[in-house]
Amino acid sequence: EQIMKGGADHFMQKEIHEQPESLLQTMRGRVQFQRPALGNPYFNPRIKLGGLVEVTETLKRCRRVMFVACGTSYHAAMAARQTIEEMCEVPVVLELASDLLDRRCPIFRDDSCVFLSQSGETADTLRALEYAKAKGALCMGITNTVGSSISRSTHFGVHLNAGYEIGVASTKAYTSQIIVVTMMALQLSEDSISKREKRDQIIDELGQLPGKVRRTLMLDGTMQELAKQLMSQHSLMFFARGYNYATALEAALKVKEVSLIHSEGILAGEMKHGVLALVDENLPIVVPETVEALQPVINIVPLQLLAYHLAILKGLDVDQPRNLAKSVTVS
């Protein structure tokens, strides 16, 4: 086990720090970064997710894209939703797998359903997939596990290529999931002239992302200090909006999972509609910076580190948190 941790104390720590490499692996061979002739207005950089090639036209014409997932995978879909909406101009809905099943949510033949699951084995997501298939929808899988139940049962799919994730709290799979959905948006909008500028900007930024994540990881010591200040708190709140609402939810989930501190992610625009009542001078507030499409990938990193350090300072088992399992294979 010590060898598998590769010098790190815990799998969660190792996996957080692996993100520059895991993101690169997720993009390798799929994103064309270099512009062969700089300034050539006719050069359109390509994104190629092999699994999508044969269904690109069907995906472009679908009634809506429905993302179905649980836990951290659900937050990844939320983080990239706006990019799909903006680049493809298609309605996007997000569904928690268990809730979709409880509601027997209407799904139509011209819907495209995307099942996001690190393990590819989560029971609720798998059951939701069978439900959507029975309704005749086009079903796509995005998993980190070749040969998993979800990757075998979907009509087509994309592998995350983030490398094996062992820590129960998902970290590197999350950032790779956001990148895969972003690449999907870029691939589907390839022919759109009006999206060209934005598309080029995102592709350029994808190339810089591993380096930026590496620099963000240098905040490790700062987040450890912050964790010392916050470790005796009973409750934490993460406020954000837009692309980063998912960051706030995912940060709160990480803190709950591994450090057992109550925490909430709150959409800043909703604060005045109730949550404000909880805010007093003692409540710690963490606000990640908000900007564009790839910010969620960078902004979650220090918050993963914060959750990790809170758990370590409290003497908790970060890799096997109380009551949780890496893959929830029962409904």
DSSP assignment, residue 90? -
Binding status of residue 259 toward ligand G6P by CB under 6 A: no
Binding status of residue 283 toward ligand G6P by CB under 6 A: no
Please compute Rg for the chain using Cα positions: 20
Binding status of residue 118 toward ligand G6P by CB under 6 A: yes
- Among 125, 176, 182, 216, the residue binding ligand G6P under the rule CB under 6 A is 125
Q: Computed from CA positions of residues 49, 51, 57, 60, in that sequence, does the dihedral angle turn out positive or negative?
A: negative
Binding status of residue 327 toward ligand G6P by CB under 6 A: yes
Which residue in the shown chain puts its C-beta closest to ligand G6P?
Answer: 71
Binding status of residue 324 toward ligand G6P by CB under 6 A: yes
Confirm if 138 and 164 have CB atoms less than 8 A apart. no
Binding status of residue 170 toward ligand G6P by CB under 6 A: yes
- Among 13, 22, 73, 175, the residue binding ligand G6P under the rule CB under 6 A is 73
Binding status of residue 290 toward ligand G6P by CB under 6 A: no
Binding status of residue 80 toward ligand G6P by CB under 6 A: no
Q: Which is nearer to ligand G6P, 118 or 244 (CB)?
A: 118
Task: Return the biggest CA–CA distance within the chain.
Answer: 57
- Among 169, 184, 261, 297, the residue binding ligand G6P under the rule CB under 6 A is 169
Q: Which is nearer to ligand G6P, 122 or 304 (CB)?
A: 122
Rounded to the nearest angstrom, the gap between the alpha carbon of residue 86 and the centroid of all alpha carbons in its chain is: 18
Query: How many residues can be counted in the chain?
Result: 331
Binding status of residue 161 toward ligand G6P by CB under 6 A: no
Q: How far apart are CA 124 and CA 110, in angstroms?
A: 23
Q: Which is nearer to ligand G6P, 276 or 324 (CB)?
A: 324
- Token duo for residue 268: 């800043």
- Among 13, 19, 22, 72, the residue binding ligand G6P under the rule CB under 6 A is 72
Confirm if 157 and 142 have CB atoms less than 8 A apart. yes
The torsion angle over the Cα atoms of residues 94, 189, 151 and 26, rounded to 10 degrees, is: -100
Binding status of residue 244 toward ligand G6P by CB under 6 A: no
CB atoms within 10 A of CB 42: 5
Backbone angles phi, psi at 65, to 5 degrees: -105, 125
Binding site for ligand G6P (CB under 6 A): 70-73, 117-119, 122, 125, 168-170, 324, 326-328
